[in-house]
């Protein structure tokens, strides 16, 4: 083989190798992730990133990490929110929230009063129905707020189921001065402040009654009436009759 032919062969071989090398770096190979670690790795990625990784691996495309959309939203500057001023109002407890001691229960109770007598301990927020044999059925109650406390003795003169409510004129005027406008009359029902039952005391405006606000049991919140949970006042209502003696301490 002549020297010129050898040189030509060498040059062709070199050119072929260069072409192969160039083609090698022109092709982007897919990233292959071993099955043993792929799941754990991709589970750590956010939704948008994870979706792109899966699609690119399946399609044999090169990977390119991008910022998750949720991070993009956090980085974006949000306009200043408008704050509406509002009067403070304590958070209302759950509708059925009541301390255990105010649930109906039979307790030891020594008294000289006859069975069937109702005794209301306003300081401790308890109503006792005397049963005899040194026992009484005890209920939790709500009582008169400061300035509306009272003590005395009356008899139940009337009983009513789901009673209508006729707010006294004094209450209507008092609440109107606070910006609260009461109706002259309200039909009986779950929204009625007198609740499911009412037992009227003597010729007064006071009653033992249910409530539409059971979370107030155990507190001094009323205008002088004795309020009970609806289920409790129904229970007491069935146990007493017109003429029952009521002693408020």
Domain boundaries, the chain: 30-64, 142-248
Reply yes or no on whether the pLDDT at 92 is more than 70: no
CB 243 within 8 A of CB 165: no
How many CB atoms neighbour CB 102 within 10 A? 21
Reported as half-sphere exposure (CB side, CA atoms, 13 A), residue 104 has a value of 11
Q: Give the class (CATH, top level) of 142-248.
A: mainly beta
CB-based contact 131:206 (threshold 8 Å): no
Instruction: Please compute Rg for the chain using Cα positions.
Output: 41
pLDDT digits (tens, 9 = 90+) for 107-153: 999 999 999 999 999 999 999 999 989 999 999 999 999 999 999 99
113 is catalytic: no
Backbone angles phi, psi at 227, to 5 degrees: -105, 150
Give the pLDDT mean for 88-114: 78
Residue 153 · residue 249 · CB < 8 Å? no
227 and 142 Cβ atoms separated by less than 8 Å: yes
- Which pLDDT tens digit goes with each residue over 198-222? 999 999 999 999 999 999 999 999 9
Highest mean pLDDT among 27-31, 34-38, 66-70, 187-191: 187-191
Catalytic entry in 113, 154, 166, 225: 225
Identify the sign of the CA torsion 6, 8, 9, 10: positive
Give the Cα-Cα-Cα angle 67, 72, 75 (nearest 5 degrees): 125
pLDDT of res. 24? 41
pTM over 0.85: no
Looking at every residue in the chain, the average pLDDT score rounds to 75
Q: Known catalytic residue: 209?
A: yes
């Amino acid at each position: 083989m002549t020297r010129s032919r050898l040189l030509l062969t060498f040059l062709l071989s070199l050119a072929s190798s260069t072409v192969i090398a160039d083609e090698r770096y022109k092709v982007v190979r897919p990233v292959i992730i071993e099955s043993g670690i792929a799941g754990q790795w991709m589970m750590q990625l956010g939704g948008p990133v994870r979706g792109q990784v899966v699609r690119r691996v399946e399609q044999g495309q090169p990977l390119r990490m991008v910022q998750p959309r949720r991070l993009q939203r956090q980085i974006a500057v949000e306009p200043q929110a408008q704050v509406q001023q509002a009067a403070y109002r304590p958070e209302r407890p759950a509708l059925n929230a009541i301390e255990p001691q105010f649930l109906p229960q039979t307790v030891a109770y020594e008294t000289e009063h006859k069975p069937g007598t109702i005794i209301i301990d306003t300081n401790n927020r308890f109503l006792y129905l005397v049963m005899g044999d040194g026992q009484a059925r005890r209920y939790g109650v709500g009582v008169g707020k400061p300035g509306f406390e009272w003590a005395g003795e009356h008899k139940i003169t009337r009983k009513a189921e789901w009673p209508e409510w006729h707010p006294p004129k004094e209450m209507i005027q008092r609440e109107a001065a606070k910006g609260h406008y009461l109706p002259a009359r309200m039909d009986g029902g779950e929204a009625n402040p007198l609740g499911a039952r009412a037992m009227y005391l003597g010729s007064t405006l006071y009653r033992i009654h249910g409530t539409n606000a059971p979370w107030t049991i155990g507190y001094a919140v009323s205008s002088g009436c004795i309020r009970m949970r609806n289920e409790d006042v129904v229970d007491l209502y069935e146990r007493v009759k017109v003429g029952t003696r009521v002693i408020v301490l």
